[in-house]
């Protein structure tokens, strides 16, 4: 069998056999097939897609390129929630203790952010002393105590995805629906759970800008899940404005804690309650998503969810008193207030622009090797649809040096689009696909 023959078949849009896919991927992982040949194959996929059978096999070979982890030692209904990433997305920090308080477990691999702001790992690592589990044994120990089991990605989990993604990044094949679907799902399938819930962000501040394309991605991921015998549900959520009010790392931890104290922004609440409802429904505790509200409200009102977050922080090496003392988090030296230049209604908040404004002051990474400054970030005080007056405060920038702060300020001002006409409050959830 030769790689060139497989490339030729994909170029001519002919269906590949399981054996051909196994050969291509396994030989590439071991270094027997060079990057230039795999690049040609990826471009063939970009233009000609994959069949349902090809994509399932492709994903399963990727999954099996590394360790596959089962959690037989955890006696809970396990939920693996994954977000495709957005600006101000602190959902995992909030969701995990809520799921635990409702008798479930959130066991997942979390990543560091590349781009606008930090990922879930970066947010938690803004807590002094906090260390993520690095082994399955550590994760199981903490998950059995708290119901929350988060672990950083390991080179032993789907190593083929890491190698392929690096190649996709430099060959203009990143925005390929089947390649995105296989990348996400190979990692989700490598960790066993009772249900996989995917939060696919759509809009200006998301990887998926278009709702129709996001639907196609959702359908392909559900298709892969069914083929692998796993339950997959997808939430298409709005990223045409930042999620909540905080963008950064330490300030997003504060917003997450405030949510668990009952002070949650409405858009964050809609996303968290929807994902929790889907988990409860799959577990068989409710028949309609609307039934979840009372259950979630109760674990927030009685403080159970907040207590679990504190326990998780403590078990992970941080100071659990943080939930009542934000002074334990890193604090930026300076604060710059930003005021509106016009009066009217907020028509749009350019989410990607806000994300970049946070990144250039250190809240995110332009390159993988960049260090994140956990203390810096942006808080926005107004949301789309709200009426504001001229010279009203719309945001604050928290920064440690003034290198890019004026540029960041200009980006934030530019991001707020004001109109004289009344604007409806946007939906946080576009659609649920099961």
- Residue ranges and CATH numbers for the domains of the chain are 3-48 (1.20.970.10), 77-324 (3.40.1030.10), 331-419 (3.90.1170.30)
Question: What pLDDT is stored for residue 114 in this prediction?
Answer: 47
Structure tokens at 219: 């359908």
Q: Residue 156 — very low, low, confident or very high, per pLDDT cuts 50/70/90?
A: confident
Over residues 116-127, the mean pLDDT reads 83
- State mean pLDDT over 294-301: 98
CB atoms within 10 A of CB 182: 31
According to DSSP, residue 209 is labeled -
- pLDDT over 80 (residue 115): no
Residues annotated as catalytic are 82, 161, 168, 183, 187
**Gyration radius of the chain's alpha carbons:** 22
The residue written with tokens 């672990």 in the block is: 151
Q: With 50 as the cut, is the pLDDT of residue 417 above it?
A: yes
Res. 380 pLDDT band, cuts 50 70 90: very high
* Strand extents, DSSP E, 178-325: 195-202, 232-238, 246-248
* Residue 212 pLDDT: 95
Taking only the tens place, the pLDDT of each residue in 203-252 is 998 888 899 999 999 999 999 999 999 999 999 999 999 999 999 999 99
Band (pLDDT 50/70/90 cuts) for residue 98 is very high
Q: Which helix (H) or strand (E) holds 184?
A: helix 177-189
Q: How far apart are CA 251 and CA 331, in angstroms?
A: 9
Supply the pLDDT for residue 86: 86
User: Whole-angstrom distance between the N-terminal and C-terminal Cα of the chain?
Assistant: 39
pLDDT tens digits along 63-86: 999 999 888 899 999 999 999 888
With cut-offs at 50, 70 and 90, classify the pLDDT of residue 116.
Answer: low
Mean of per-residue pLDDT scores for the chain: 93
Query: Given this model, what pLDDT does residue 189 score?
Result: 95
Compute the average pLDDT of residues 338-356.
94
Looking at residue 113, what is its pLDDT? 52
> In this structure, what token pair is assigned to residue 20?
């051909």
Interval 117-128 mean pLDDT: 86
Q: Are 353 and 415 in contact (CB under 8 A)?
A: yes
Question: What size, in residues, is the chain?
Answer: 434
| Range 255-259 average pLDDT | 98
The C-alpha atoms of residue 233 and residue 230 are separated, in whole angstroms, by 10
């Amino acid at each position: 069998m030769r790689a060139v023959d497989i490339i030729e078949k994909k170029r001519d849009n002919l269906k590949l056999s399981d054996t051909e896919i196994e050969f291509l991927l396994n030989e590439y992982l071991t270094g027997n097939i060079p990057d230039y040949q795999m690049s040609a194959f990826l471009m063939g996929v970009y233009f000609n897609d994959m069949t349902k059978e090809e994509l399932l096999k492709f994903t399963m070979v990727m999954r099996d390129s590394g360790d596959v982890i089962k959690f037989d030692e955890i006696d809970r209904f396990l939920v693996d929630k994954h977000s495709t990433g957005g600006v101000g997305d602190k959902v995992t920090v909030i969701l995990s203790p809520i799921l635990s308080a409702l008798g479930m477990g959130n066991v997942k691999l979390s990543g560091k952010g590349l781009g606008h702001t930090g990922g879930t790992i970066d947010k938690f690592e803004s807590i002094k002393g906090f260390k993520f589990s690095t082994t399955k044994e550590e994760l199981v120990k903490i998950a059995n105590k708290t119901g929350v089991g988060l672990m950083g990605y390991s080179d032993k989990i789907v190593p083929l995805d890491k190698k392929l993604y690096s190649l996709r990044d430099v060959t203009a094949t990143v925005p390929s629906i089947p390649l995105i679907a296989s990348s996400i799902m190979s990692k989700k399938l490598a960790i066993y759970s009772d249900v996989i819930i995917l939060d696919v962000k759509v809009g200006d501040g998301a990887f998926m800008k278009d709702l129709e394309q996001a639907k196609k991605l959702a359908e392909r991921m559900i298709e892969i899940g069914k083929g692998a015998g796993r339950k997959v549900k997808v939430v298409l959520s709005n990223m045409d404005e930042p999620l909540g009010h905080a963008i950064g790392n330490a300030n997003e931890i504060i917003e997450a804690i405030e949510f668990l104290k009952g002070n949650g922004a409405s858009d964050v609440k809609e996303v968290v309650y929807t994902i929790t409802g889907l988990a409860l429904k799959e577990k068989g505790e409710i028949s309609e998503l609307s039934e979840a509200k009372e259950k979630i409200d109760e674990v927030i009102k009685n403080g159970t969810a907040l207590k679990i977050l504190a326990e998780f922080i403590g078990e992970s090496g941080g100071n659990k008193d943080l939930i009542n003392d934000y002074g334990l988090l890193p604090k930026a030296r300076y604060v710059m207030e930003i005021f509106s230049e016009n009066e009217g209604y907020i028509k749009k908040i350019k989410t990607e622009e806000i994300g970049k404004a946070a990144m250039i002051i250190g809240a995110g990474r332009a390159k993988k090797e960049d260090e994140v400054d956990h203390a810096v970030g942006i808080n926005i005080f107004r949301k789309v649809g709200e009426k504001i007056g001229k010279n009203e405060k719309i945001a604050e920038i928290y920064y440690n040096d003034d290198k890019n702060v004026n540029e960041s300020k200009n980006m934030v001002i530019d991001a707020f689009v004001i109109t004289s006409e009344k604007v409806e409050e946007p939906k946080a959830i576009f659609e649920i696909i099961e």
